[in-house]
Amino acid sequence: MQNLLYSSAKSQTAALEEVFHRVEICNILIATSVLRKPSPSKPEGPETSAMFLYNLTLQRATGITHAIHGNFSGTKQQEIVVSRGKILELLRPDGNTGKVHTLLTMEVFGIIRSLMAFRLTGGTKDYVVVGSDSGRIVILEYQPSKNMFEKVHQETFGKSGCRRIVPGQFLAVDPKGRAVMIGAIEKQKLVYILNRDAAARLTISSPLEAHKANTLVYHVVGVDVGFENPMFACLEMDYEEADNDPTGEAAANTQQTLTFYELDLGLNHVVRKYSEALEEHGNFLITVPGGSDGPSGVLICSENYITYKNFGDQPDIRCPIPRRRNDLDDPERGMIFVCSATHKTKSMFFFLAQTEQGDIFKVTLETDEEMVTEIRMKYFDTIPVATAMCVLKTGFLFVSSEFGNHYLYQIAHLGDDDDEPEFSSAMPLEEGDTFFFQPRPLKNLVLVDEQENLSPIMSCQIADLANEDTPQLYVSCGRGPRSTLRVLRHGLEVSEMAVSELPGNPNAVWTVKRHVEDEFDAYIIVSFVNATLVLSIGETVEEVTDSGFLGTTPTLSCSLLGEDALVQVYPDGIRHIRADKRVNEWKTPGKKTIVRCAVNQRQVVIALTGGELVYFEMDPSGQLNEYTERKEMSADVVCMSLANVPPGEQRSRFLAVGLADNTVRIISLDPSDCLQPLSMQALPAQPESLCIVEMGGVEKQEELGEKGTIGFLYLNIGLQNGVLLRTVLDPVTGDLSDTRTRYLGSRPVKLFRVRMQGQEAVLAMSSRSWLSYSYQSRFHLTPLSYETLEYASGFASEQCPEGIVAISTNTLRILALEKLGAVFNQVAFPLQYTPRKFVIHPETNSLVLIETDHNAYTEATKAQRKQQMAEEMVEAAGEDERELAAEMAAAFLNENLPEAIFGAPKAGSGQWASLVRLVSPIQGSTLDLVQLEQNEAAFSVAVCRFGGDDWYVLVGVARDMILNPRSVAGGYIYTYRLAGGGEKLEFVHKTAVEDVPLAISPFQGRVLVGVGKLLRVYDLGKKKLLRKCENKHVPNMVTGIYTIGQRVVVSDIQESLFWVRYKRNENQLIIFADDTHPRWVTTACLLDYDTMATADKFGNISIVRLPPNTSDDVDEDPTGNKALWDRGLLNGASQKAEVIVNYHVGETVLSLQKTTLIPGGSESLVYTTLSGGIGILVPFTSHEDHDFFQHLEMHMRSEFPPLCGRDHLSFRSYYFPVKNVIDGDLCEQFNSMDPHKQKSVAEELDRTPPEVSKKLEDIRTRYAF
């Protein structure tokens, strides 16, 4: 059999090779014939030149869809795993500081639909179960030694894609970790039994079916039954009768059921144990702890009620969901819980459940002999509405917000002893009545950390409005009252801990510890031109005079030497200060002075005038001894560097010396060949500073008691022309190889060694400061968003364990960098409603922003409603209660809870609130604000000029719009003049139109407006805008208008793009070309005269181009072209655009822009997504590059398949086959592969792994960061 298979495979490959050979021959023939063919005077066929792009993600999605917690690394630490759409991320909150650190981020190239943590009985480590669109269930284990998720099991059960009947949408785990159920929205449910084999590895059974046809599932949970047979509870609805009944009566009477499925471990079979119809419609279930911990059973959360149910004699216990007192919401609207978290200890348990307004209630159950007697609820606190909440054992509450930033709170009180009223199911209430509570600011929770979240990005524009050379990204994001306008700049956010003035301009600063075992630094040493200042670090920073340092001279360098001694190097010698303050001095010979030096914990190297090197090393008794020989260098020494002494060793082996002859030399400090040169590297300019660091590599096993990392030695070279080189230093031979180059700024680059997240990092200072550090197995070189610094050193104190002390002119600053790994730092300005679109005023650079919310009241309506309610309160009171009622009404009118936290009142469907805002981009201040009336909704905005010099703002507004079924009473185009130097909106007039104006664009001194499906040209009139011309042939609705010359490109909501020519003489708009594919276009962008990039609702980016022979001259001509026009083609225009690029991003793209992101960089196409991701598509500049990356991507697909089991090629071809785009995110995973896999892939490409990494880095730095 084996041989047969082998021979058939062999014959297949032979056949394939033959085919390829023939294709190659054909290609050669074609190529030669092309070479021989005379060049045609005009293009003959519809040949479009190809475009090859490379996709890079600059910032991954920030919105969180699922969050789970557990001990994933197997230690006692609590961690959180979150899914961000197609990304899996592991977070660890620091128990001491409360900061959340990201340990690992992995692209899964699939859509994560559900996540669960489980632990085998008696285990200490949690596994992650992932339900995705791959048609497979995947179990992952986190490996801390490699900092990777590893696939433990992958079981296929269905087709890929998010389908109705393929499981993956719901996951439930037996609380004792014995089984997992994965369910579809309809019909199919599978149960897998989990166990461990003799080697204690996790095993998984084949699936057991629990299908039921014609059944919709709303939610699934595992019921806690102790060690009885595992049980799962499902909220289901059977629609078979409703489907078969033509009258619709059955559909109206369809009830939801709660069904229990039992897995019989003895029979290896799943049975439907019990099912009962529910009165209210439930939306999710909460498992109640069982076995020895509690009464078992489930809580059903439904509209207005929460109900406890269990088997046997247990009666249903039902409690209404409390509502806010004096709420402006519609009182008829039901209230539901949207998410919950359970906290369980050995002695008690409670639930935190959050309503859709953001109020959290603490829910407890009262039991009597295993039977639940009442449900008790107490108002806990109000926080923004979450998609998931996790209560950690360390007393933190992690909240992933639906929109806006995510939060980590400390649970300060459990709310047991306060005076907040407690509601109970035992309290007598009429059916339909409920309890009321008063919302208030936080009392039980304390905010300790905030994770920035851009999701949803509604629109984005990239421009350098602040004149900083590097463009900023202006991003409008958020929803409702939590909306913000954020300005993103490339760089790390710097927190200023302290700034103090110094008596002059210092030239250097260092920090030293008193003893090698100390955790924190003891002294800050500041050197001036002619003095040295020593400051001690304690509660405050004070000057010290008895440190043993020489204060009357500048200092060249200082360090802790050995266990507890200090060394100071100054121009005339070296001071060795012992712990008991004894001082040994070494003076320079004759008239020579020390010009450069390098020190570490055990070694000192100095360079004297004339290029002479002197080497000192500390002996075991703590004495500093000079090495007998000295070494003359061939040129002046410009800079030197020593690495830190590796743990367990006597010395650092290498000294790097930069010379004035534009070279850097590596010199050995090993006793066997001391001061012998080992290698050298020529430099393009004179070196300014050197720094040897150990970076990258993997974390050592902490269980074995080894702390820190095993990395590689890198020599960083800062040049005087502002370039930074990073070179690998061979730890055995001292050879230099694999040099990477980055231009940092206009000033010479100075380098300083600092510590970040327990690893060494390099701070590089030019005209801007940069930090080079290793984070999640990738090198990052990021600028600091801070003013220019001159000198720096690492700094560790109690308040700031990993800080930086730096000098800038005459100030000393203590800084901290907390958001490592972040690409952008953000400044956020709050908005009132959801921002829809904004435009930049071309002259004043201010932003004109439209904000619109559905289901909302305007400020005026809100005030009116409040007044009305206050009057009703007074009227409803009796004679004797009048005064009290008046006081209450006054308090109610004055109470103003911030809507960003407490939410805005829901006005009901068909109610809209909207405004137009003029914002200064630098300060973020609102220059002018125009509130529109209730039920007017702004959807489009443009800034344009008609004939004269005045600038106008046009806002397209819909009136009384109802979304479903869609209807609209009409629309307006509001015209405002920008007055007062562009800082004021002056109302001119409003023009009534018959449908929603979704798109407005200036066009040749007039304006193009898409009114519903009509495309019109308007001009400015005295009383209103005047219609000049229209085209009725766009099929559904115009969503965007883009103009270039006489050409107009229009995007339709469902039917892709239409090319329109405006003929001035006949005053006609004529469609002359369209696309062959239907696309639900969300945004588009002109790339050139013939090429458009579009993005659609389903997460695809496509680029379409008109063939070279497309004609837009639609004049009356003798050739009869006009008849061709009228005939059209395939029910559309007579000419069709060609698709040259297709790519599935996996998140809905809402903005596209062609721009350059870095000064001197090349142009790229930047896109932003609804989930908060920012990415770019960049063109390849050479065939070799394209060829190389194409092969790399191919090898990565086979060697490193996606985590969740989805096929990478089919994911990127979700709706259209991927065309001419190479996925840089997949290629960049090369750096996180095992070294032996890297080697094999690199060999296939005829390269070495460092060369492949360098290629990946180069293409990234050429276009972006």
pLDDT at residue number 1115: 54
> Containing H/E element for 285?
strand 282-287
pLDDT at residue number 33: 40
Task: List, in order, residues 6 or more apart from 472 with CB less than 8 Å away.
Answer: 462, 463, 464, 465, 466, 487, 488, 489, 921
Conformational region of residue 482, where left means phi above 0, alpha means psi within -120 to 50, and beta covers everything else: alpha
Reported as a single tens digit per residue, the pLDDT across 269-307 is 999 999 999 999 999 999 999 988 999 999 999 999 999
Asked whether 389 and 398 are in contact (CB, 8 A), the reply is yes
Q: How confident is the model at residue 1114 (pLDDT cuts 50, 70, 90)?
A: low
Instruction: Record the tokens describing residue 729, joined without a space.
Output: 């230093």
Asked whether 637 and 612 are in contact (CB, 8 A), the reply is no
If you compute the radius of gyration of the chain from its CA atoms, what whole number of angstroms results? 35
pLDDT at residue number 431: 82
Interval 255-274 mean pLDDT: 96
Q: CA 234, CA 257: separation in Å to the nearest integer?
A: 8
Reported as a single tens digit per residue, the pLDDT across 1225-1234 is 999 999 989 9
Interval 1157-1186 mean pLDDT: 95
> Containing H/E element for 112?
strand 112-118
Task: List, in order, residues 6 or more apart from 246 with CB less than 8 Å away.
Answer: none
DSSP 1098-1133: TSEEEEEE--TT--------TT-HHHHHHH-BTTB-
pLDDT at residue number 35: 38
Interval 592-606 mean pLDDT: 96
Q: What are phi and psi of 474, to 5 degrees?
A: -100, 115
What is the rounded average pLDDT for all residues in the chain? Answer: 92
Task: List, in order, residues 6 or more apart from 144 with CB less than 8 Å away.
Answer: 73, 74, 75, 699, 701, 702
64 closest CA partner among 124, 5, 17, 105: 105
In DSSP terms, which residues pair with 672 in a beta bridge? none
Asked whether 376 and 349 are in contact (CB, 8 A), the reply is no
pLDDT at residue number 1122: 52
Task: Give yes or no for residue 343 having a pLDDT over 60.
Answer: yes
**Domains of the chain with CATH codes:** 286-451 (2.130.10.10), 457-489 (no CATH), 508-753 (2.130.10.10), 833-866+908-1021 (2.130.10.10), 1033-1142 (no CATH), 1180-1263 (1.10.150.910)
pLDDT at residue number 248: 87
Task: Give yes or no for residue 39 having a pLDDT over 60.
Answer: no
120 closest CA partner among 200, 233, 208, 211: 200
Q: How confident is the model at residue 312 (pLDDT cuts 50, 70, 90)?
A: confident
Instruction: Record the tokens describing residue 528, joined without a space.
Output: 């001036």
pLDDT at residue number 1062: 93
Interval 1142-1161 mean pLDDT: 95
Interval 796-824 mean pLDDT: 92
For the ranges 818-827, 875-884, 1170-1179, the maximum mean pLDDT occurs at 1170-1179
Task: Give yes or no for residue 1113 having a pLDDT over 80.
Answer: no
Q: CA 1027, CA 355: separation in Å to the nearest integer?
A: 49
DSSP 426-482: TS---TT---EE---S-SSEEEEEEE----SEEEEEEE-TT--SSPEEEEEE--GGG
Reported as a single tens digit per residue, the pLDDT across 888-919 is 999 999 988 899 999 999 999 999 999 999 99
Q: What are phi and psi of 427, to 5 degrees?
A: -75, 135
Interval 113-131 mean pLDDT: 96
Q: CA 971, CA 852: separation in Å to the nearest integer?
A: 15
Sheet holding 256-264, edge to edge: 215-223, 231-238, 256-264, 269-277
3-state SS, residue 894: helix
614 closest CA partner among 569, 554, 581: 569
Choice among 15-19, 434-438, 802-806, 871-875 with the minimum mean pLDDT: 15-19
Q: How confident is the model at residue 1129 (pLDDT cuts 50, 70, 90)?
A: low
Choice among 627-641, 866-880, 1070-1084 with the minimum mean pLDDT: 866-880
Task: Give yes or no for residue 28 having a pLDDT over 70.
Answer: no
pLDDT at residue number 789: 95
Reported as a single tens digit per residue, the pLDDT across 799-812 is 888 999 999 999 99
Instruction: Record the tokens describing residue 695, joined without a space.
Output: 């970076």
pLDDT at residue number 2: 46
Instruction: Record the tokens describing residue 526, joined without a space.
Output: 């500041």
pLDDT at residue number 710: 58
Reported as a single tens digit per residue, the pLDDT across 428-451 is 988 878 999 999 999 999 999 999
Task: Give yes or no for residue 357 having a pLDDT over 60.
Answer: yes
Task: Give yes or no for residue 83 having a pLDDT over 50.
Answer: yes
Q: C-alpha 459: how far from its chain's center? A: 16
Q: CA 364, CA 667: separation in Å to the nearest integer?
A: 70
pLDDT at residue number 31: 41
Task: Give yes or no for residue 1010 having a pLDDT over 60.
Answer: yes
Asked whether 147 and 776 are in contact (CB, 8 A), the reply is yes
Reported as a single tens digit per residue, the pLDDT across 385-429 is 999 999 999 999 999 999 999 999 999 999 988 889 999 999 998
Choice among 183-192, 293-302, 867-876, 1094-1103 with the minimum mean pLDDT: 867-876
667 closest CA partner among 638, 705, 629, 640: 640
Q: How confident is the model at residue 776 (pLDDT cuts 50, 70, 90)?
A: confident
Q: Which long-range contacts (CB under 8 A, 24 or more apart) does 991-996 make?
A: 991/1018, 991/1024, 991/1025, 992/1024, 994/970, 995/968, 995/970, 995/971, 996/939, 996/956, 996/958, 996/961, 996/968, 996/971, 996/1037
pLDDT at residue number 26: 44
Reported as a single tens digit per residue, the pLDDT across 499-519 is 999 999 999 999 999 999 999
Interval 116-132 mean pLDDT: 96
pLDDT at residue number 701: 38
Interval 1095-1117 mean pLDDT: 86
